[in-house]
Structures are given as structure tokens and as C-alpha cells.
Amino acid sequence: MGLEDLPQIHIGEVTLIGTGGGYGESSVIHIGNNEWVVIDSCIDPNTRTCLPLDYLLALGVDVKTQVKVIICTHWHDDHILGMSSLLGACESAKFYFARSTDKDKFLLLLSLDVAKADDGVWSSSTTEFFNCVKLIAERNEIPLRASQDRLLYKTEANGVSNEVWALSPSDYTLDKFDQEISKLIDVIKHRNKKFINESPNSKSVVIYIKINDHRILLGADLEISRDNKEGWDNILENCLSIDRKASLFKVPHHGSENGYHTKIWSSLLIDNPVSKITPWNRNQKLPQKSMLQKYAGHSSNLYLTTSVLTLGSKAKKREKSIEKLILEKNPSLQEIKYKHGIIRSRIDCLKNDVIWQVELFGAAVQIDQSYIDKMA
């Protein structure tokens, strides 16, 4: 099938759009009956266009009316860029994210970082998020809170019923976020500092989707916590909305070690589930070979949105004299290459004994042992 083929109303779809280099990932899901859910957003850094929006438009989806839910799992650059243009186009979509209870402090945190944009300091993720909140205010809509065991959307028509659940963050995590915000404000108010906050991974919104008898688990960037009141341990021990094992899994946090828990594979997933990973490549490269080996041990249906074998490590092409100078002055300079791939899976929701049909587009690859052997 071509990329532009629109699924029929009884066909479920989970499409992971991802890039090399940590430019981002987004999941686009057809939950049946021409209703769509978009989780996270990312952009093409060259054109600045929103990749999930491009994809939906290429399919011919009427984004104004058919995108029902947009979820921001957390506000890291690689999950949120382009979100405001997506939300702007999807006029009837409800907007969910994990937010703190102290709304004023939360917005002050965002506002301070956004104010830095005027100084020329990057503040892309917070600016993007702030623009989404402003858009919601202009529409007189409610910015909705995603949290553990919360039903975000539900419909039933033409023999297809669906439910979209959030499995995280836990109340405990959100309470901690409230306490953390004051500290973050203290950091963020320094005008010469780009806001670098690694912690929102713990507030990532994991999504669990039910479409008739099929189950989908989308792991966002949630990590393992030392405390079983949050992270994957909390989901494994305390979530009430999980009623059966998922056959499709978006592996959390780019296949990192801290996103791996053996019990996820034994308790939440069927044997050999379709498993998808978006790589990440900055000063640290994910997934690492050892982890990919582990994931391959759980599933032969393992896919990467972009091959990690092809991510180069040279500086950008420039005038020869400048290239020579850069090499002399700082040979460590390297471009973080952008390549994007799409892993699309579709399933007939009206049938029980069927498996996901997977299609790969762009730079996406299926992982097998020979591929892993080639990794450094």
C-alpha cells in the first residue's frame, strides 16, 4: 500500500513517525470510524513542518473534525515541536498533558522560559507548549489533565468500540511535580541559561488503547523508578484500566536501559508483540546494541523508525576553506543528521484472530540479528 492510503473505518492503525538524531517522534492512531488520536509531535528541522500533521494531510484526513485527541506525553523538544501548529489545525481536538496541580506556578514556569525567547535564548519546547495553552484559552476550551487510569476518549459505532486511557503519571508523581516547580523556577529565571530539565520523563503519559479486542501500549519516555509509586513499577502494580495484554508496543525512551522492565514484556504484552523504537542520537546514542539485543529477544517484530547504522558523524558541508578551518579548530564538530521513517501497523478491528500488518516507509528498518551484529 502507498503511504497515502486512508484506512477504512473498521481498520485500526498505529503509525510511529520518528527521526534519527533525536529530532523527535509522534504516534498517529486511527481508532476506527475516521477518528484519530495524535500522541506527541515532531518537525522536519529543514522545513519546520509538523510531521504528524503532514502525514494526516497526506492521508486525506479532515484534521479539523476527525482528530479527536492530541496528547503531549511530556514537553521535551523531541516530543513537542510542531505541537501548536498541529493543535491549531485540529480545531476540534481535546488537548491532554500531565500538569501540576499548582496551575499558576506551572504557567509562571512556562512564561519565564518563553520570555527568554526575546533574549535570543532557545526555549523551543516551553514556547511550543505555552502556545498550545494560549490556543486552548483562545478557544475557550479546557487544557485536560492526563494521569493514571484516566479515560481520555471513548466511542462506539459501526461495530468498533474504542477507549483511550492514560496509565501515568501517578498522583504521587504529580504531587512531586508541584514541589519541583519552585526549584525549576529558580533555575529557569537565569536569563543566560537554556532550560535543561531531564526530569519530565517521570511525568510521561503512557497510553493504553483498546479497539475492540485489540490492545496497544505506547510507552512515551517513561522510565523505571526506584519508587514503586511511580514509573513502570506503578503501572505494573497499580493500574486498574489494563484488562488484557497488548499486541503492539511503542518501546519507551528510545529503547534505553532505564525504560526496560522485564515485567512489561511478561505482564503487559503478548508474546512477540509488534515493537517500535525511535532512536536518539546526541551526546549519547540510543538504543545501544546490548538493549536492542534484549528487545530482539522479546520480539522478532522489532522495528526502528531510522536505522542507527546510517547516522553519520561529520560536520555539515560548508565552503572548503571553512571546513578546513573547523577541522583545525574543533575537529569534534558533527552534524546530528536528520532522517525520518514511518512504521505503520494496521489491523482489522472486526476480527479477533488477526495480526498487525506492518509497513515501513522512509528510513524505517526491521531489526534482526544480522542488523544487531553490525552495530558498534
Partner 1 sequence: MDSTVIEKITSSDYQLSDTRLSTKVVDEAIETIDLKLIKNSEIKYEDGYDFSFLDKKDSDILFNNKLHALNNRNFNTYREYYKEAQNWVGHIIELKEDSFVAKLEDLHHPATYEIASFDFNDVSPEDKKLIGLGNVFYWSVGYAVRNSQVIKESFIRFQRLPSWTVAQFDTIADNARSLSNSLKWD
For partner 1, the binding residues (CB under 8 A) are: 21, 23, 45-46, 103-104, 107-108, 110-112, 115, 119-122, 133-134, 136-137, 140-145, 187, 189-196, 282-283, 315-316, 318-319, 321-322, 325-326, 328-330, 332-338
The residue among 64 and 103 lying less far from partner 1, judged by its C-beta, is 103
139: left (phi over 0), alpha (psi -120 to 50) or beta: alpha
The residue among 152 and 242 lying less far from partner 1, judged by its C-beta, is 152
- We find the least distance from the C-beta atom of residue 82 to partner 1, in angstroms, to be 15
Q: At what angle do helices 103-115 and 171-188 cross, to 10 degrees?
A: 40
Backbone angles phi, psi at 300, to 5 degrees: -90, -5
Dist CA 131 CA 217 (whole Å): 28
Q: Which of 242, 252, 149 is nearest to 202 (CA)?
A: 252
The residue among 45 and 362 lying less far from partner 1, judged by its C-beta, is 45
- We find the least distance from the C-beta atom of residue 337 to partner 1, in angstroms, to be 7
Q: Is the Cβ–Cβ distance between 231 and 223 less than 8 Å?
A: yes
DSSP code of 101?
A: S
Q: H helices within 5-102, ranges in order? A: 51-59, 63-66, 77-80, 83-89
- We find the least distance from the C-beta atom of residue 192 to partner 1, in angstroms, to be 5
The residue among 5 and 323 lying less far from partner 1, judged by its C-beta, is 323
Three-class SS state of 255: helix
Per-residue cell: 226: 526506584
- We find the least distance from the C-beta atom of residue 159 to partner 1, in angstroms, to be 31
The residue among 185 and 355 lying less far from partner 1, judged by its C-beta, is 185
287 prior amide bond cis, ω within 30:
yes
- We find the least distance from the C-beta atom of residue 257 to partner 1, in angstroms, to be 18
Residue 217, C-beta contacts closer than 8 angstroms, at least 6 positions apart = 206, 207, 208, 246, 248, 249, 250, 268, 269
Dist CA 17 CA 53 (whole Å): 11
- We find the least distance from the C-beta atom of residue 197 to partner 1, in angstroms, to be 9
Burial status of residue 166 (CB atoms within 10 A of its CB: 0-12, 13-18, 19 or more): buried
Biggest alpha carbon–alpha carbon distance for the chain? 66
The residue among 1 and 196 lying less far from partner 1, judged by its C-beta, is 196
Dist CA 37 CA 66 (whole Å): 9
- We find the least distance from the C-beta atom of residue 182 to partner 1, in angstroms, to be 13
- We find the least distance from the C-beta atom of residue 268 to partner 1, in angstroms, to be 27
The residue among 41 and 275 lying less far from partner 1, judged by its C-beta, is 41
- We find the least distance from the C-beta atom of residue 357 to partner 1, in angstroms, to be 33
The residue among 157 and 325 lying less far from partner 1, judged by its C-beta, is 325
The residue among 196 and 240 lying less far from partner 1, judged by its C-beta, is 196
Sign of the alpha-carbon dihedral angle for 16, 269, 265, 303: negative
